[in-house]
Structure 1
């Protein structure tokens, strides 16, 4: 009893100190509680205005809440006990633990990932997701805080544009922007049962894409794939490239592509009247871009209109695959089989061609994507991540989808072994490699190589006596291997659309009407445009996919047919090396911008187009490299000095160069080469 009375007394004392009971706190929002609270006068409350008995105005309620003990003394609490500190510390600790656990070098990694895989083995992801309208709401809310509030953009978002404007730099030449692969939003224009809910909504880009992928995957795949026979729209489905500057300014909320560049163009006087974004359906082969959408005809008309109205030539600014589109356009517009503009059309209409991060000689990443639907991004997810991805969108499904995209095949490696190396050496080999980059694909049987599955061991590249023995494929044999393991329709598309060789004599250039060679700068010549200038701007200093280690996993007692091989081939993500820091998760990294190898970025700019064989008009080519420098840790896009393949479109120095070129000040720019590209190209005999 004494103990009970003591507790009651303590509760009474606490009530007097806080001026009201705990029950009153929980019901603070009700008018009856507000009118019934009895407060002990304090120094803070003496200045309060008299209250009516039943007053519950917002001002009085706010003052009442501010006078409570637990809020009034919040600022006096130790910093480490405040909610903001605890919440932030919890996130940071969680990220550190997650990173440590998901690192393949962690001894507990395999146990942890296997446990997760088994725990989620029977999970049907689509069945546990909420109704589609809720998912759309969810993605809208999640990405809302990532989407920039244009009305609140700070001056730094318009730099260096504002700085150049203050120095008197202003718009001069009309500008055409040509985006790269996957940069342009694709809208649905179909009216089938599957398409109607998405009419004129983006199946690629914006949060609609995420909703469709998660809840309506088959419908999304049917929209995104092309007819494997024609390379055009499949029956009952129709996607078209979004139009206008917002077609590729942001791929989805928070992820800018051309957005920063457009802001800086605006700072020196550009707008939608003298700046045009030539969006296109990047899935299509270049041949079919004209067949289906008349893309090159529209581009030609747009540039001619600018010439008539502005009395000035156009500056073409392209990024990534957009540079290949521009090169194809130069050949198409002059050819009697294309625009029939004649020999001087480019010289009369194009002031400068700005090539930003163009994969002029292709990239090995396209080969792995088309071969098995894999790349570094997929194999470095870890065991659990790979498992979830395979359950949701398998590598076989990805490969089948990618092979219908004729545009992707335009970036297969060009120039053969002369550029990319043979089985023993490559021009861009560097110290510390356990094996040359030359054999782009290294294929081995999973049988008899179990000792290689320990990520702590170096790779044993010896042959074995199993049914499937190891084989090494260079650029030429790698593309041939892809063709051998592809269906007839894919091979017909490649044959009709692209060529990947190299021309070494003027006689081989006589047939300029072969459209398959127009995307390969080693099999076609630049236009006769001596007054035009070419600016090659690209980054380097990031690990870039250069070579792949594949394993076969053939079924027991069964000899695989060549067409079934792709079902049993995969990048071996357990392949790492303590001696070779560039080998990670079965991917051998070289130098480049994180996506395109340095050889592909720089060879034509620094050597190829200095040869009259490929540049008969001796067009001036200026090459400017940007070494990658990481930005602040919390800047997910790398900061103002990033040289990443996509993020470089927000690079301060590169943006300044582009603005100077468009404003007619490109003559102030000289070559700036700081990478090893000159050493590498000296080993290439072309």
Structure 2
């Protein structure tokens, strides 16, 4: 990332609260991080091995609160959270202004001042939509540059974002699943960091047991260790499936998930059945699917959808006009 964080523009969640959930709901609501049956990555034979099951989460996680200032805020019912709107808050002077050494790494954060920093923290929790407002408040120059190239809501004018008129084409979404992946965060203020970003992930926030979805200030969900399932699979699962306003010619879409299995031994390197981000490029099943499609096979020839996650169930919870 650059000092101004411009490279993060492409990673900001798209679709707003409609896709990622709001203050009181999220598509993945009810997800449990306890171990499920997983495959043993033995190149001679793959078989299921029962993982040790633990009690389910005592409280359903709301992944819609992508950023919460404090673990208690992430878990508190919305009716009991008092938010103070940060929009329009007066930005004050920061002690970093008088520290010459800070100017070598100067960013827009230093223009917030403690008044602006406190205003952000007092808002308590941010969803995908309010997170954009936060970035416009914290880094307006960066967001102005980024808005020339990116949009983050749901398009009303579909002249550009819709799929082409190509009914004979097929679209495949191939990705790994079965690895706990970052989905939401617990933050804290760090007022002593004069020259650095004043908001930090609270690494002391944990769920209380080893199989908790909250680990080191990060709420985890199903994914490939980098990209959550919702991001990788939603459009092929529902947004583009059949004839929709995003897919007017009815291009066929297929989901091909590859359930992660760690290497059986060091000789396998990163594994031939890995579902991890990047490592999946060495997954034999994915390579076979790609070669077969390149050779002319259709999605039906591959066996249609191959789904291990709850992406189809989660997609149905998203109320998007199609």
Decide: shared fold, TM above 0.5: yes
The answer to which structure, 1 or 2, has the higher relative contact order (CA under 8 A, 6+ apart) is: 2
Query: Unpaired runs of 5+ in structure 1?
Result: 1-397, 445-451, 513-523, 557-563
Q: CA deviation at 1:536?
A: 1.4
Pairing partner for 1:678 from 279, 294, 312: 312
Partner of 1:608: 239
- 2:68 and 2:74 in contact (8 A); partners too: no
Alpha-carbon distance between aligned partners in 2 of 1:463 and 1:673, rounded to the nearest angstrom? 38
Provide the residue aligned with 2:133 in structure 1: 480
Deviations, residues 618-657 of structure 1 (Å, cap 9, x unaligned):
1111221111111124368531111011111000000000
More helix by share: 1
CA deviations on 1:314-347 (whole Å, 9 max, x unpaired) are xxxxxxxxxxxxxxxxxxxxxxxxxxxxxxxxxx
Partner of 2:147: 495
The 1:666/1:463 distance shift into structure 2, 3 A limit, reads closer
* CA 463–424 in structure 1, closer or farther in 2 if over 3 Å, else same: closer
Report the 3-state secondary structure (helix = DSSP H, G, I; strand = E; otherwise coil) of the residue aligned with 2:14. coil
Deviation at 1:590, TM superposition (A): 0.9
> Aligned with 2:61: secondary structure?
coil
CA contact (8 A) 2:14 2:153 kept: yes
Change (3 A) 1:605 1:494: same
**What do you get for the CA RMSD once the two structures are aligned?**
2.9
1:576 Cα deviation (Å)? 0.9
> Residues 624, 417 of structure 1: CA spacing in aligned structure 2 closer, same or farther, 3 A cutoff?
same
Aligned residues: 251
Q: Contact 1:637–1:647 at 8 Å: present in 2 too?
A: no
CA contact (8 A) 2:222 2:309 kept: no
Structure 1 partner of 2:254:
622
Decide which of 11, 18, 36 is 1:418's aligned counterpart: 18
1:339-386 CA-partner distances (Å, limit 9, x unpaired): xxxxxxxxxxxxxxxxxxxxxxxxxxxxxxxxxxxxxxxxxxxxxxxx
Q: 1:416 to 1:674 in 2, by over 3 A?
A: same
Q: Post-superposition shift, 1:565?
A: 10
Q: Aligned equivalents of 2:271 and 2:178: distance in 1? A: 15
CA contact 2:176–2:277 (8 Å) conserved in 1: yes
| Alignment correspondent of 1:509 | 158
Change (3 A) 1:612 1:594: same
Say whether the 8 Å CA contact 2:73–2:81 is kept in structure 1. no
1:441 and 2:79 matched: no
User: SS state of the match for residue 3, structure 2?
Assistant: helix
Q: Secondary structure at the match of 1:545?
A: strand
Residue in 2 that maps onto 1:577: 207
Moved over 3 A (4+): 457-465, 467-470, 635-638
User: Is the 8 Å Cα contact of residues 463 and 470 (structure 1) preserved in structure 2?
Assistant: no
CA shift, 1:582, in A, is: 1.2
Shift of 1:460: 7.5
Name the counterpart of 2:279: 647
Distance change >3 Å, CA 565–CA 421, structure 1 → 2: farther
Residue 533 of structure 1 aligns with which residue?
A: 170
Distance of 1:437 and 1:545 partners within structure 2: 10
Q: 1:482-524 CA distances to partner (integer Å, 9 max, x unpaired)?
A: 2211141x122211001111136xxx325x4xxxxxxxxxxx1
TM-score relative to the length of structure 1: 0.34
Q: Secondary structure at the match of 2:145?
A: helix
Per the alignment, in what secondary structure is the counterpart of residue 664 of structure 1?
A: coil
Greater Cα shift, 526-535 or 425-434:
425-434
Q: Structure 1 residues 482, 657: closer, same or farther in 2, change over 3 A?
A: same
Match of 2:263 in 1: 631
Equivalent residue for 2:111?
none
- Does structure 1 residue 590 correspond to structure 2 residue 221? yes
CA distance in 2 between counterparts of 1:566 and 1:420 reads: 29
Q: CA deviation at 1:471?
A: 0.6
Question: What is the distance in 1 between the residues matched to 2:73 and 2:197?
Answer: 27
Distance 1:566 1:486, change over 3 A: farther
1:435, distance to aligned residue in structure 2 (A): 3.4
Larger radius of gyration: 1
Per the alignment, residue 400 of structure 1 pairs with 3
| Partner SS state of residue 536, structure 1 | strand
